Amino acid sequence: MGILIDESTKVLVQGITGRDGSFHAASMLEYGTKVVGGVTPGKGGQEVHGLPVFDSVAEGVKETGADCSLIFVPARFATAALREAADGGIGLVVCITEGIPVLEMLGNYHYVREIGARLIGPNCPGLINPGKSKVGIMPGNIHKPGDIGVISRSGTLTYEVVYNLTLKGFGQSTCIGIGGDPVIGSGYIDLLEMFEKDPETGGVVIIGEIGGEDEEQAAEYIKSSINKPVVAFISGRTAPPGKRMGHAGAIISGGKGTAEAKVKAFEQAGVPVADRPDQIPELMKEKLGS
């Protein structure tokens, strides 16, 4: 099973005629993802990798029955693209795009939720259900089917953690990059709730970082509502306050959002926090055994 996507998920790629959209559409097809078409306004009727290109999401959904869309369009068109996906009947909207202004995201967040669609991202690598479907830009070959769920605010750090999990024999049920922006469509709590219900997920790894208080809230939620083992890693212990560390959301401001506070919150919730990415499998092993 896993969560959110599987072998039956039909994916439309918004921005498929662009460099990144086209490259990753091919990589997903190769992985076995059911990519059913793409959307680029004004380029309807063309083909990319043998896939039909549509002028609008609504048209693409009508013709292909797509239920998921993956967005690669530039930041200034991304708000329109993700609202169009939700309006067009897509249930799972995954937005890779980095650089959407946070005030636009406030509106987008509520807009998509009111329609009843789920948004993953923006500024994220997407998600993968190993061996079944990849909806994103991560290297598929480091993943392996298994029972560990991964939720992360990062991209390459997730690869690092997944690589270590796979190396130590822990396959993954679903790995989700939720995005490095301050305001994102789905957070830890949304996904923890799904992993808790997923019979194929045995434990969850959370990869957090400085900025905001989502990790603290996740820790509270784990304490009250999650029975499956959870292990965490927090990056940014050495980050200075007031400086944005690459991700728009990775900033310690007004004394809030420090790595220390997050580590403490997890530890108080009984979630062990690894000092290094390569310690995560070991901690998971201990948690699962206990």
Partner 1 sequence: MKIHEYQARELLASYGVPVPPGKVARSAEEAARIAKEIGLPVVIKAQVLVGGRGKAGGVKLVHSLEEAREAADRILKLTIKDIPVEALLVAKAVDIRKEYYLGVTVDRSNKKAVCIVSASGGVDIEELAVKEPEKILKDYIDPLQGPDEKALRKTLSAAFPEALLDQAVEALLNLYRLLVEKDCSLVEINPYAQIDESTLIAADAKINFDDNGLHKHAEVEALRTAEEYSREEIEAKEAGLSFVSLEGDIGCIVNGAGLAMATMDLIKLFGGQPANFLDVGGSSSPQKVLTALKILTRNKNLKAILINIFGGITRCDDIAKGILIARDQIDLPVPLVIRLIGTNEKEGRALLEQAGLEAASEMTEAVKKILQQAKAGV
Q: Calculate the alpha carbon distances from 43 to 47, 55, 88 in Å.
A: 9, 6, 18
Shortest distance, position 69 Cβ to partner 1, whole Å: 20
CB under 8 A: which stretch of 2-10, 35-43, 57-65, 238-246 binds partner 1? 238-246
For residues 132 to 151, the per-residue mask of contacts with partner 1, x marking binding by CB under 8 A and - elsewhere, is -----xxx--x---------
Site membership for partner 1, residue 207 (CB under 8 A): yes
CB under 8 A: which stretch of 30-38, 65-73, 261-269, 276-284 binds partner 1? 276-284
Residue with tokens 């050495």: 238
Among 49, 223, 244, 264, binds partner 1 (CB under 8 A): 244
Nearest to 172 by CA among 194, 221, 205: 205
Q: Which residues pair with 136 in a beta bridge?
A: 126
CB under 8 A: which stretch of 30-38, 56-64, 83-91, 211-219 binds partner 1? 211-219
For the question of residue 143 being annotated catalytic, the response is no
273-274/92-95 β-pairing: unpaired
Of 16 and 61, which CB lies nearer to partner 1 in the complex structure? Answer: 16
Among 99, 145, 169, 270, binds partner 1 (CB under 8 A): 99
Among 84, 198, 214, 215, binds partner 1 (CB under 8 A): 214
For residues 149 to 178, the per-residue mask of contacts with partner 1, x marking binding by CB under 8 A and - elsewhere, is ---xxxxxxxxx--x---------------
The letter for the amino acid at 111 is Y
Nearest to 145 by CA among 286, 1, 8: 1
| Active-site annotation holder among 24, 110, 143, 247 | 247
- How would you label 136-165 residue by residue, b for 16+ Cβ within 10 Å and e otherwise? bbbebebbbebbbbbbbbbbebbbbbbbbb
Of 45 and 240, which CB lies nearer to partner 1 in the complex structure? Answer: 240
CB under 8 A: which stretch of 39-47, 57-65, 105-113, 127-135 binds partner 1? 105-113
Contact present, 167 and 193 (Cβ < 8 Å): no
Nearest to 27 by CA among 14, 41, 13, 39: 13
Of 9 and 158, which CB lies nearer to partner 1 in the complex structure? Answer: 158
What tokens appear for 181 in the block? 């922006």
d(CA 270, CA 264): 10
* Residue 261, phi then psi, degrees to nearest 5: -60, -40
Site membership for partner 1, residue 278 (CB under 8 A): yes
Count of residues near partner 1 by CB under 8 A: 63
Instruction: Report, in angstroms and rounded to the nearest whole number, the Rg of the chain calculated over CA atoms.
Output: 18
Going by the DSSP 8-state scheme, the letter that residue 246 receives in this structure is: S
Interface with partner 1 (CB under 8 A): 20, 75-76, 99-107, 109-111, 114, 125, 137-139, 142, 152-160, 163, 180, 182-183, 207, 209-210, 212-214, 217, 233, 235-240, 243-250, 254-255, 259, 275-278
